[in-house]
């Protein structure tokens, strides 16, 4: 989980540039480099050393035979294939998973290079031979990337987080997932992960087999690192499956972490049952209501969002990652995001038909980079850790999005039935976890966390304050006092940048049963026994 910056112009003309770029230091504390290949183009990189932790793996990488430079925040899971392909024609000087992108770019150019990657990445390439600055981002948007235009000369700039570009640029936008920038002003879509040309005609038995095998492979490829690996274990289905599969593949104990309030946490006992079952070295991290309130400002600074759901769900994750950073030597964590978007939330139980279920899944996959994926990236990178997300494996996502939605809808009374059924009988999780009702993460750390946030906002703001917000914030207008609190903190850090977030994450209010005033699944009529 590194931090990058690339600009077509000379960023050092900004006297504040080094201080601004240092705000990404949490993403990569192991090495910092700032280079200017032609005296004007600026490439800067904070490295978190994961693969080849020697200085040979420091970035930028340069093609030794051409004036081409690369910076990449990513994990390239098929990098060994490229090492083998180019070992006789390209003089590698590291064992980094990112260096093979240079000969790949040399042969194919940026578009085909991006299409051939099995990876989570955001990258910038300076091609001095074509005098072009190019960029690309993975199709899910696991790795963050923004672009803007210099206040000095209007030239394009790229960076991992908004906080770097905001002081340097007028307009700033999110770099769209699954796109590349061709260096000539064009953003080109090379892959849309949510797009389905044709649904599978596979039997249900084959669907279950493919779900199982593809998710196992998605976990397996994410276990490789030159540093210690840990696992976030909430006790819910998704993170428990990731941990159960990893234990099944590795045949050795994992190091797992769960988080909850120091009173009435819902998920901690379930996480402990999983940890005992897979015999992991387990850490329970607890926090107080005072810790909740104290974390809000830091969480919003890191998240760069005002969305209620994202902020609520980030507090527990932020605090557990803080513990991992301070108390262990772990640098990579696997987590369970992206399952809900594919297989359904509690509210998608109300989808009127398969077409509507699929339409909602497409919307959620397309917007992941603004919500759950953003949360995972920022909470984890805030503490100099790298996130790996097996449910976002491209092969897995492509296959599962093309499963007929009728097979994914809740027709059994148990959400995510086909995901659960795919692993039934494998003995990788206790049955009571595999078939457990879902609890929303922001509630599962303890209902009183959300109650504490709401109560604080009620004391802080009047009804008149909330009424004024309608004219003060025309985009993403706060509709509760809690949302007004978050928005004011966001505007303090990132004034005028609110439109980078499309809207509040909310259930589909057009569906019967989903017209609610709070994003928590707790307010839905079908919220099950896991939430009590």
Place of tokens 């289905």: 237
- C-alpha span between 42 and 10 (Å, rounded): 6
- C-alpha span between 260 and 443 (Å, rounded): 10
**Burial grade of 459 (CB within 10 A; 0-12, 13-18, 19 or more):** exposed
Counting Cα atoms < 13 Å in the Cβ hemisphere of 160 gives: 34
Containing 251, the helix (H) or strand (E) segment is none
Q: What string of DSSP letters covers 449-516?
A: HHHHHHHHHHHH--HHHHHHHHHH--SS---SHHHHHHHHHHHHHSTT-GGGS-S-----TTSTT---
Helix residue ranges per DSSP H, 93-194: 101-115, 162-165
Helix residue ranges per DSSP H, 73-231: 79-86, 101-115, 162-165, 204-220
How far from each other are the two terminal CA atoms of the chain, in whole angstroms?
36
Query: How many other C-beta atoms can be found within 10 angstroms of the C-beta atom of residue 317?
Result: 26
Structure tokens at 317: 């994750």
Residues recognised as catalytic: 2
- C-alpha span between 108 and 98 (Å, rounded): 16
**Burial grade of 185 (CB within 10 A; 0-12, 13-18, 19 or more):** exposed
Strand runs labelled E in 320-360: 332-334
Chain Cα centroid distance, residue 437: 24
């Amino acid at each position: 989980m590194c931090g990058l910056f690339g600009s077509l112009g000379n960023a050092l003309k900004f006297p504040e540039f080094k201080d601004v770029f240092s705000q990404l230091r949490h993403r990569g504390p192991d090495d910092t480099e700032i280079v200017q290949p032609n005296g004007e183009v600026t490439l800067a990189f904070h490295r978190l050393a994961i693969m080849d932790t020697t200085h040979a793996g420091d970035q930028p990488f340069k093609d030794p035979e051409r004036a081409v430079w690369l910076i990449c925040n990513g994990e390239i899971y098929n990098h060994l294939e490229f090492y083998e392909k180019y070992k006789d024609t390209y003089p590698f000087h590291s064992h980094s998973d990112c260096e093979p992108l240079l000969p790949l770019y040399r042969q194919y150019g940026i578009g085909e290079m991006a299409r051939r990657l099995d990876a989570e990445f955001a990258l910038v390439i300076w091609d001095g031979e074509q005098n072009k600055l190019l960029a690309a981002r993975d199709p899910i948007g696991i790795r963050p990337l923004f672009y803007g235009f210099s206040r000095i000369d209007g030239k394009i700039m790229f960076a991992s987080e908004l906080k770097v570009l905001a002081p340097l640029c007028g307009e700033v936008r999110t770099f769209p997932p699954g796109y590349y920038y061709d260096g000539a002003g064009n953003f080109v879509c090379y892959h849309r992960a949510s797009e389905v040309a044709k649904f599978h005609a596979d039997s249900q038995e084959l669907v279950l087999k493919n779900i199982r095998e593809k998710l196992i492979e998605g976990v397996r490829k994410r276990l490789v690192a030159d540093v210690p690996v840990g696992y976030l274990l909430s006790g819910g289905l998704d993170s428990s499956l990731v941990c159960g599969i990893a234990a099944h593949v590795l045949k050795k104990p994992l190091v797992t972490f769960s988080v909850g309030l120091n009173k009435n946490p819902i998920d901690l006992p379930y996480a402990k049952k999983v940890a005992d079952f897979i015999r992991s070295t387990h850490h329970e991290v607890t926090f107080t209501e005072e810790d909740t309130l104290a974390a809000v400002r830091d969480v919003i600074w890191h998240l760069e969002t005002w969305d209620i759901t994202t902020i609520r769900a980030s507090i527990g994750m932020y605090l557990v990652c803080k513990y991992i950073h301070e108390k262990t030597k772990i640098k990579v964590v696997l987590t369970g995001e992206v399952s809900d978007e594919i297989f359904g939330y509690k509210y998608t139980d109300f989808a009127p038909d398969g077409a509507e279920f699929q339409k909602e899944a497409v919307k959620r996959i397309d917007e992941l980079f603004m919500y759950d994926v953003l949360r995972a990236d920022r909470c984890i990178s805030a503490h100099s850790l790298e996130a790996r997300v097996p449910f976002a494996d491209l092969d897995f996502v492509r296959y599962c999005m093309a499963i007929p939605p009728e097979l994914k809808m809740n027709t059994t009374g148990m959400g995510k039935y086909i995901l659960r059924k795919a692993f039934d009988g494998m003995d990788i999780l206790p049955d009571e976890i595999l078939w457990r009702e879902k609890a929303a993460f922001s509630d599962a750390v303890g209902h009183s966390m959300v109650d504490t946030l709401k109560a604080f906002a009620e004391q802080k703001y009047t009804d008149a304050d909330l009424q004024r917000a309608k004219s003060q914030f025309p985009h993403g207008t706060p509709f509760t006092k809690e949302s007004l609190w978050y928005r004011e903190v966001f505007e303090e850090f990132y004034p005028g940048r609110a439109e980078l977030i499309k809207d509040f994450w909310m259930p589909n209010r057009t569906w019967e049963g989903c017209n609610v005033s709070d994003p928590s699944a707790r307010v839905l009529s079908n919220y099950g026994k896991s939430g009590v």
